[in-house]
Amino acid sequence: MEVVIAPGDELARLAAEAIETLLTGRPQAVLGLATGSSPLKVYDELARRHKDGLSFARARAFMLDEYVGLPDDHPERYRNVIEKEIASRVDFAPGAVRGPDGNAADLARACADYEEAIAAAGGVDLQLLGIGTDGHIAFNEPGSSLASRTRIKTLTRQTRQDNARFFGGSVDDVPRHCLTQGLATIMSARHLVLLATGRAKAEAVHQLVEGPVSAMWPATIMQLHPHATILVDAAAASRL
């Protein structure tokens, strides 16, 4: 694992640079998009680079996860968040950005279909990731199988509390279930780029980089990935 400690703006620039380099060499690349606040500056930087000529027209993208049961037009539905923060700001072709369908009648089928779609696209070339304060990646909460694929998960109280800020501060309004790529799904991507900033992430980053590989800190599986880049600011790196 490569660990880079730099100010937040520089981290976003480095992540955007990696995506630009990938798309320049391989315009039909498959990107993995993350939600949460961590990648937002990366998306701003990509939108800026798009104005300067970076094209996503031949690229495809897969999202990491989705809440179950939010109305289609709910602003916090991850499909809508990704549309707002990045997809609508660049030139992806219609249908090029996909996410797991958290409103499908058959959720297990939706998860299997999603795995098939990722495989049919040839897998993800570069996966952006954030990390939860409890060490989750995507919505793979502590205790997730290290061999997991896309499936239905129950969110922990901690994650629902962490995400309540996106739901007007009310933890009761945060959904209880989600669909998420599994840890093995994420590990299949060819390059993992994780961003973490702020002191609240320091323990999770410490475990990610220096802890034993354990389902209790799901992000630690990344230690086994042949090409993982960990981008952290000084506060998130304060326990390294």
Determine whether 65 is an active site residue.
yes
Edge-to-edge strands, sheet with 177-180:
65-67, 177-180, 151-154
Select the residue interacting with ligand GLP from 31, 54, 64, 128 (CB under 6 A).
64
Task: Single out the residue of 139, 111, 186, 151 nearest to residue 35, CA to CA.
Answer: 139
CA atoms of 73 and 223, how far apart (whole Å): 38
For residues 7 and 106, give the distance between their C-alpha atoms in angstroms, rounded to a whole number. Answer: 43
Binding of residue 233 to ligand GLP (CB under 6 A) = no
Which stretches does DSSP call E strand in the chain?
2-5, 30-33, 60-63, 65-67, 97-98, 126-129, 151-154, 177-180, 191-196, 228-232
CB of 5 to ligand GLP, least distance (A): 18
- The residue (of 8 and 19) whose beta carbon lies closer to ligand GLP is 8
- Rg (Cα) of the chain, in Å, rounded? 17
Which residue stretch of 1-9, 31-39, 113-121, 181-189 sits at the interface with ligand GLP (rule: CB under 6 A)?
A: 31-39
Q: Is 134 a catalytic residue?
A: yes
Query: Known catalytic residue: 20?
Result: no
Is 44 one of the annotated active-site residues of the chain?
no
| Cβ-based nearer residue to ligand GLP, 22 or 196 | 196
- Supply the DSSP symbol for 171: G
CB of 115 to ligand GLP, least distance (A): 18
Least Cβ distance, residue 55 to ligand GLP (angstroms): 26
Q: Can you tell me the distance from the alpha carbon of 160 to that of 140, in angstroms, rounded to the nearest whole number? A: 13
172 contact partners, CB below 8 Å, separation of at least 6: none
- Please, what is the minimum distance in Å from the beta carbon of residue 41 to ligand GLP? 11
Mask: binding to ligand GLP, 131-170, rule CB under 6 A, as x and -?
xx-----xx-------------------x---x-------
Say how many residues touch ligand GLP, by CB under 6 A: 14
Give the catalytic positions in this structure.
65, 134, 136, 141
| Binding site residues, ligand GLP, CB under 6 A | 34-38, 64-65, 130-132, 138-139, 159, 163
